[in-house]
Amino acid sequence: MSSNRIKKLFFPVIAGVGVVLLTGCGTTADYKALQPTADGMPIREVEITSPPNGGSGPEGDLASVLPLNSDGVFIDTRISMSPINDELVFSMHTGRRSYMNVYTWRSGNGEDAGEPVDVTRDIDRINVEPTFDPQGEFIYYSSNYPDARYWKLWRYDLVDGSRTQISDDGSTARVDTSPTLSPDGRRIAFASYDREGGQSRIIVADSDGGNAERKATGHSPSWSPNGRLIAYVSTDPESELDRIMVLDLESDTTRTLTRGSYHDRHPAWTPDGELIVFSTNRVVDEDGYRHFSIWQMDASGRNARPLTFSTYHDMRPVVSSDGDAIFFVSNRGSTGGEVQDWRIWRINR
């Protein structure tokens, strides 16, 4: 399969958009055109893992809520990093192919990188979107247990292996996913969808699921290091494009950080809280096709700049606990029928 064919399998070009690369502070007056070089930005990129090939994901109406691939055990889903070491957590298919488990992986370079470890070790569940708590003692994740029709949040104790269901609404067909913990570990924010339709909601609750409150309309929440802000993604009702927003928990107000003729997704804070790293399809190639790349901007939404370029898709960034590296998911290097051969990559900041 040609590289152009690979491009066409993803995100077609938006009508009326030129082939320039746009960047700016969130208002059209501040955008400027950039021309990426053929070999990308002068940032060293190192591929650090390639999970074993094989496996497939469930199909049907959940595919659009939990984005799965049809090839390869590693899926295009969120990765998270422990705040106390360099351990990553993510989801992969199990040996039974139709199910997924939560895996941890101690990242490293070359021989320092270990093999992914199956933490949940289930044979009949789909466990996705995991994240660590701030102390690295628990993993929060979304699972379709005990009712395969709905996804609820669970907490896994890394010490004794016990599990506790966090979200439970029992009356509506709800899908709760994408948990993120406050810096003190006392509260949790997550996205909640109704399978019957409607927009997703940002819910903030106690870390045990109590005192849940709807705070905003959107998904992909990320709690700031100072505990006051939650970055998230909201879909503009008119343009149907994703933009990054910030919820201020003290004033209970929201603010738009990005807007434009493209999608901005997957916000993640740097440990100092000064920057937000995200994925965006602002990159448009010479054939008019859009590709997701990793960008960063000030926490105010200004001074956005690209960190990666490729003819594939770089998605779902997460910043290391020391702030020196960014890990992300990408299908770069895929060939032929393996256009969704997702792998974890790293860039040094």
pLDDT higher than 50, residue 28: no
Beta strands in 58-173 (DSSP E): 80-81, 87-93, 100-106, 117-118, 127-132, 138-143, 152-157, 163-165
What total number of domains does the chain contain? Answer: 1
Peptide linkage before 52 cis (omega within 30 of 0): no
CB 348 within 8 A of CB 109: no
pLDDT value for 110: 43
Residue, of 3 and 250, whose pLDDT is higher:
250
Identity of the residue numbered 118: D
What Cα–Cα distance (Å) separates residue 228 from each residue in 19, 231, 245, 252, 322?
A: 38, 10, 14, 10, 21
CB 279 within 8 A of CB 317: yes
Residue carrying the six token digits 């913990």: 181
What Cα–Cα distance (Å) separates residue 312 from each residue in 121, 323, 339?
A: 32, 25, 9
Domain that holds residue 79: 3-348
CA distance 50 to 345: 9
pLDDT value for 96: 57
Residue 47 is encoded by which pair of tokens? 């591929």
pLDDT tens figures, 175-205: 899 999 999 999 999 999 876 667 899 999 9
pLDDT higher than 80, residue 321: yes
pLDDT value for 152: 93
What Cα–Cα distance (Å) separates residue 43 from each residue in 243, 244, 283, 306, 330?
A: 26, 25, 17, 10, 16
pLDDT tens figures, 38-58: 333 333 344 433 332 222 222
Identity of the residue numbered 5: R
CA distance 4 to 40: 18
pLDDT value for 181: 97
Q: In sequence order, which residues have a C-beta less than 8 Å from that of residue 11 and are 6 or more positions away?
A: 263, 281, 289, 290, 291, 292, 313
Give the best-scoring range by mean pLDDT among 29-33, 208-212, 266-270: 266-270
Give the best-scoring range by mean pLDDT among 70-79, 239-248, 281-290, 330-339: 239-248
Residue 261 is encoded by which pair of tokens? 């003729």
Q: Domain of 93: which CATH number? A: 2.120.10.30
Residue, of 84 and 298, whose pLDDT is higher:
298
**Which of the four pLDDT bands, split at 50, 70 and 90, describes residue 169?**
low
Mean pLDDT, rounded, for 108-124: 71
pLDDT value for 97: 61
**The dihedral formed by the CA atoms of 326, 332, 338 and 341, expressed in degrees to the nearest 10:** -10
Residue 157 is encoded by which pair of tokens? 């104790």
What Cα–Cα distance (Å) separates residue 201 from each residue in 141, 173, 190, 219, 220?
A: 17, 14, 8, 6, 10
In Å, how far from its chain's centre is CA 266?
5
CA distance 278 to 136: 23
pLDDT value for 150: 84
User: What is the residue-averaged pLDDT of the chain?
Assistant: 75
pLDDT value for 205: 95
- 60 — alpha (psi -120 to 50), left (phi > 0) or beta? left
User: 9-13, 108-112, 298-302, 304-308 — which is least confidently predicted?
Assistant: 9-13
Identity of the residue numbered 59: E
pLDDT value for 212: 92
User: 143-157, 236-250, 276-290 — which is least confidently predicted?
Assistant: 276-290
What Cα–Cα distance (Å) separates residue 314 from each residue in 21, 289, 346?
A: 16, 14, 10
Residue, of 256 and 70, whose pLDDT is higher:
256
